[in-house]
Each structure stands twice: as C-alpha cells, then as structure tokens.
Amino acid sequence: MKVGIVGFGMMGRQIAQVFAQHENEVSVTDENHESLGLGMDEIENGPYGLKAAVARGKLSTTDSSTVLSRIKTVVHLKDACAHADLVIEAVYEDPDLKQRVFQEIDSSAPPTALLASNTSTLTLTKIAAKVKRKERVLGMHFFNPAQATKLVEVIHSRETAPETIQRGLEIIKLIGKTPILAKDEPGFIANRLGLTLFQEASRLLEDEIASINDIDNAMKLGYGHPMGPFQTADLVGLDTRLRNLESLFHATGDQKWLPSKALREMVNQGYLGDPSKRRGSKGGYYQFFRIEPRTEPP
C-alpha cells in the first residue's frame, strides 16, 4: 500500500514509522521543510525510533535500514498524495489549517484514495467541510507514541461511506493495531475519557486537595492504570494537552474543558512534558513543581 502523510511533526513521524515497519511505501511532506530532515532523524534515532527498536531486539539492523528506505520526503503536498491509496493529515489541531490542508489533499489524491485525519478533538464534519469526496473521509486517531500504543480510533461522519469505514478498520488491523469505532463528536472516545480524568486531577491539585504524587498513585495503585494522569500528560506533551483542551472548549462551549492556569503557565515557560521524550522541554509536572515521583504512597 502507498501512504501519503501531510504534516511531519511528532505524530506524523510516528505514523510514518508504523506504516513503514509494516511494509508500506510512505511519502511525507510538511510546509516547514526543516521538519522533513528533523523527522527522518527522529525516526532513526528517537526514543521510539528504529535504532531503539534494534537495541531492544525488535528489529535487525538490516530490517531497520529497509524500513527507513520505505519513507520518502517530498517538498510538495501533491507529490505526497499523487499515487497514494491512503492519505493521512497530521497537522496541528487548528480547524482552519486542517480544513485548508484537507481541501488540498482532496484535489491532489487519486479518486479512490481514502482521506484520513489524525484529529484528536476536532470533528471530521468541520475539517472536511470543503472536501468534494466526503464519502472517502474518515478519522484515524493514533495515540502517542504510535509505535508503542495499540489503539487507533476510527471516526466516521454521516457522509462517510460504509466501505470506507470497513477499509479503514482493515488497514488499522494490518498495521498491528486495535481499532475502535467512534461517531463524529468532539473528543471522540479516548480523549473525552482521558481529558475528563486529567481535568479532575488538575482541579484536585489546584484546590490543594492532594499532591501530584498521590493523585498519580491513586490511579496507578487504585485503578491499575500504568501511569497516573500527570505522568500521562507529561508523556503525551503538555502543549498537546493544552491544544486538545482548547479545541474541545471551542467546539462545545463547555466550561469543563477550560485548561488550568498551571497548564498554561507550564507551556508558556517551556515545560512541555517528559524531557526524555520531548526535545527542548524543561520538564513536566514533576520538574515544574520540583518534586520527586514515588511509586508507592507513604
């Protein structure tokens, strides 16, 4: 299968690697041409990249080179889409940007291609408002890090054709992921649940009811979550969390999605999450509040 990816930031890079590791030919593009070289470097050398996979015994050195050769960078969007069976839009969660990019994809991709958005909160209806082939449009929401997480949300609007939904589900299974199906509502399934937990955790912290450590441990030790809500936010990226919450608030008008003051301050000061996963970040919640994480309550 030939896959085009438009947007080569954090998620675009991860998605490209996943498809390439499952023997697909991938063409990627980004308006910021500098991102193309940075993205290829991250796929090769990043914390979830190919060299890390070789070190963990998941890939051989030969396989790693083969995977990298399947990913081609191109400057122009039309060149990434021209021969694709599937095009995935992976730009920032900005409705105007996504709408413009999707309109360009619609005019550049073959008429038989599936047109997918990696949107995490915005509705397909808004993103594809100016697309002619709405029956070919669906959402494929991958989770960070896409190389490691098994879940992909497949989203369908009222205009999405049944055969498009079926093909989308099949593609996700072919790349070793587990799809779940969601209707076209802001936040879909996982983000509605995950962000609800994060917002309640933020209120507990803001009201000084509990510490970051104890809130995280409540979910890890009490509910069996592998990470607490603040550790999860640090992994996902606090700038990403902020954008998702702002997007949900603007889409719904519901005050419960308003980001906390602390989250805004952290992002503004360069605390974007786990520094081992986010290059250039000063840290996440534990660094900003200057506390040491512990794995068990006192």
φ, ψ at 154 (rounded to 5°): -105, 120
Active-site hit among 108, 153, 244, 281: 153
Name the catalytic one among 27, 35, 108, 191. 191
> What is the C-alpha to C-alpha distance for residues 65 and 70, in angstroms, rounded to an integer?
9
Check: CB of residue 39 under 8 Å from CB of residue 11. no
Backbone angles phi, psi at 199, to 5 degrees: -65, -40
Catalytic: which of 27, 35, 141, 156? 141
Catalytic residue among 27, 35, 118, 120: 120
191 classed as catalytic: yes
Q: Is 141 a catalytic residue?
A: yes
| DSSP letter for each residue of the chain | -EEEEE--SHHHHHHHHHHHHTT-EEEEE-SSTHHHHHHHHHHHHSTTSHHHHHHTTSS-HHHHHHHHHTEEE-SSHHHHHTT-SEEEE---S-HHHHHHHHHHHHHHS-TT-EEEE--SSS-HHHHTTT-S-GGGEEEEEE-SSTTT--EEEEEE-TTS-HHHHHHHHHHHHHTT-EEEEEES-TTTTHHHHHHHHHHHHHHHHHTTSS-HHHHHHIIIIIH--SS-HHHHHHHH-HHHHHHHHHHHHHHH--GGGPPPHHHHHHHHTT--S-TTTSTT----HHHHTT----SS--
Active site residues: 120, 141, 153, 191
